[in-house]
Amino acid sequence: MSWVRAASVDELDAGPLVFHRPPLQISLFRVGARVFAVDNRCPHEGYPLSLGHVGDDCVLTCNWHNWKFRLEDGECVLGGDNVRAYPARIEDGHVLVDVTAPSADAARRETLRGLRTAFDERDFGRTCREIARLHFHGLDPEDALREALAWSEDRLEFGAGHAMAGAADWLSLSRSLGPELEPRVICLSEAVDHLAFDSLRQPTHPYPAPGARFDDDAFVDAIEREDAAAAESMAARGLADGLHWADMEEAFARAALAHYNDFGHSLIYCVKAGQLVDMLGDGIERAVVLPMARHLIYTTREDRIPEFKAYAPALEALREIPRPAAADRRPEVPFPASLPAAIDWLHAALSSSPPEAVYDALLEALALNMLHFDTGFGVAYDNPVSRNVGWLDFTHGLTFSNAVRRTCSRYPRLWPHGLLQMACFLGRNHGFIDADVSTAEWRVDDPDAFFRSIREKLLDHGMREPIFAVHLLKTAAAVGAACGLVGFRICPQKASKTTPKRPINGCRATP
């Protein structure tokens, strides 16, 4: 213990005191024969507790917002976070305070206990404060996200969702912003808060015990049959047998691309799951693998609705096309392109060009589609539901394309699946564009400044629910990846080999 003299008893008898021992600032109180010591700054908004009110019950009230703390142990009895309390005693007419720092294990345990309370109540302010405390205790603030993923794992009735996917992008953004604490806390808190939002007041939905040995074909078949117990228990068995996400990723990607799944979400989520594991380590695999397996069971299979009835036969035909080694010329996508026209073009393009070149052409066409979106559809209130179209109908083509590039570059046999779904995004939106729109106002001459403005918007977005910010974040991340984005700055030397070769309005892939 590190006992130090903080004040004389006579000084304290005159009223509460503040004892400074940098970086500590400690309030001292005397109630009868007892002395107490707590951090001077209220954990809520930092107001001085030395100016608070102490009752005969030894409860300290912060007069600014009425938070109340037991002086004996710092426990918050009204408000939120606890305040640190220090052992204190009187000896030889002086007040002695033990300023020994808590052990790393004790600090981590206490901070994560507070974070769990914030998570269960979806208290964003406290989430921020607890993540900052991890930093100031010399611990890893990213542990907050690791724990939040684990806490949400079995409270997601239908498996992985936007919160998990967004967590990968918030974490990536956090790491790109350098050592400054505030933006890092913002990014991690946004990720934790979205997981808390999806878990709030949700009951647990347990996963089955490990079942049959994980096998790629058997897993994909279980997903196809929508056999949740078989798929989830097989994934659990894979983890129990020591498999990692990298060992199972191809099977998950195959299942995600077997259908025009859930407006592209399934493949996007697969990619983000892998990114989370890469960044946070194998310890979080259960928290992403099992929710991903559950998601694939419940995902919407859009190719089974009439609009996309040509999808299955088109996919079979595309898989039979031999791969050309090189293209004589860049394939040009017709603009605008209906769904049948987009599929016909894709068949012809893959017959004469390698998939990477076809990808470039489709990505550029999807970007052009978005540039020409007739925004009148987004604000109309008298259209039928089938014509209820907004920006997400267009931006999702770009976020999905980013997932296609990452996945199919790793597993080339999946190129036909990914490209066909990109063509579906292109064709489904052809009726909602205005080919005569002038795109001059969307021109981006300074991509660095453009992405910097997006970053600043994300760090102070003021949007009501996390789903809104996360869509801006995911779209920006996908567009940035196509432009060679590193840390919200354009780095041409790191640009993807599949980036479109000719500029679109001043930026290489999208505006």
* Whether 128 and 267 share a structural domain: no
Average pLDDT over residues 373-399: 90
Last residue of a domain, one of 278, 303, 328: 303
The CA distance from 146 to 282, in Å, is: 11
Give the pLDDT confidence of 50-94 residue by residue, as tens digits. Answer: 999 999 999 999 999 999 999 999 999 999 999 999 999 999 999
Q: Is the pLDDT of residue 503 over 90?
A: no
The token pair that represents 292 in the structure block: 């991903």
The CA distance from 471 to 474, in Å, is: 5
Average pLDDT over residues 491-504: 37
Has residue 503 been placed in a domain?
Answer: no
The CA distance from 308 to 152, in Å, is: 34
* Whether 465 and 355 share a structural domain: yes
Report yes or no: 339 and 427 within 8 Å, Cβ to Cβ.
Answer: yes
The CA distance from 194 to 179, in Å, is: 23
* Whether 310 and 404 share a structural domain: yes
- Decide: residue 492, CB within 10 A, 0-12 exposed, 13-18 middle, 19+ buried: exposed
* Whether 248 and 359 share a structural domain: no
Q: Tally helices (H) and strands (E) across the chain.
A: 19, 13
* Whether 473 and 332 share a structural domain: yes
* Whether 299 and 312 share a structural domain: no
* Whether 351 and 435 share a structural domain: yes
Q: How confident is the model at residue 505 (pLDDT cuts 50, 70, 90)?
A: very low
The token pair that represents 155 in the structure block: 């409270």
Please give the pLDDT value at position 507.
30
Please give the pLDDT value at position 509.
30
The CA distance from 401 to 407, in Å, is: 10
Give the three-class secondary structure for 89. strand
Has residue 17 been placed in a domain?
Answer: yes
**Other beta carbons less than 10 A from residue 380's beta carbon:** 12
Has residue 509 been placed in a domain?
Answer: no
The token pair that represents 215 in the structure block: 């096998």
Residues forming beta bridges with residue 90, ordered by sequence position = 95
Q: How confident is the model at residue 487 (pLDDT cuts 50, 70, 90)?
A: low
Q: Which amino acid is at 108?
A: R
Has residue 146 been placed in a domain?
Answer: yes
Q: Which of 192, 243, 196, 265 is nearest to 421 (CA)?
A: 265
Report yes or no: 19 and 38 within 8 Å, Cβ to Cβ.
Answer: no
Task: For the chain, state the CA radius of gyration.
Answer: 28
Give the pLDDT confidence of 9-58 residue by residue, as tens digits. Answer: 999 999 999 999 999 999 999 999 999 999 999 999 999 999 999 999 99
pLDDT > 70: percent of the chain: 94
**For residue 100, what are the contacts with CB-CB under 8 A and spacing of at least 6?**
1, 2
Q: How confident is the model at residue 5 (pLDDT cuts 50, 70, 90)?
A: very high
Last residue of a domain, one of 43, 72, 98: 98
At CA 333, angle to CA 329 and CA 335, rounded to 5?
140
Please give the pLDDT value at position 489.
55
Has residue 510 been placed in a domain?
Answer: no
* Whether 186 and 109 share a structural domain: yes
Q: Is the pLDDT of residue 490 over 80?
A: no
* Whether 231 and 137 share a structural domain: no
What is the total count of domains within the chain?
4
The token pair that represents 153 in the structure block: 């794992």
Give the pLDDT confidence of 129-186 residue by residue, as tens digits. Answer: 999 999 999 999 999 999 999 999 999 999 999 999 999 999 999 999 988 999 999 9
Domain CATH number, residue 231: 1.20.272
Has residue 299 been placed in a domain?
Answer: yes
Has residue 22 been placed in a domain?
Answer: yes
**For residue 224, what are the contacts with CB-CB under 8 A and spacing of at least 6?**
255, 258
- Decide: residue 176, CB within 10 A, 0-12 exposed, 13-18 middle, 19+ buried: middle
Has residue 76 been placed in a domain?
Answer: yes
Q: Report the 3 state secondary structure along 408-425.
A: HHHCHHHHHHHHHHHHHH
Give the pLDDT confidence of 226-249 residue by residue, as tens digits. Answer: 999 999 999 999 999 999 999 999
DSSP state for residue 33 in the 8-state scheme: T
CA 124 to chain centre: 15
Domain carrying residue 227:
216-303
Task: Enumerate the H helices of 353-434 as residue ranges.
Answer: 355-371, 376-379, 391-410, 415-428
DSSP state for residue 456 in the 8-state scheme: H
Last residue of a domain, one of 146, 170, 199: 199
* Whether 396 and 457 share a structural domain: yes
Q: Is the pLDDT of residue 485 over 90?
A: no
* Whether 312 and 225 share a structural domain: no
Residue listed under structure tokens 């840390």: 487
Domain CATH number, residue 38: 2.102.10.10
Q: Is the pLDDT of residue 272 over 50?
A: yes
Longest dimension (CA), the chain: 93
* Whether 489 and 355 share a structural domain: yes
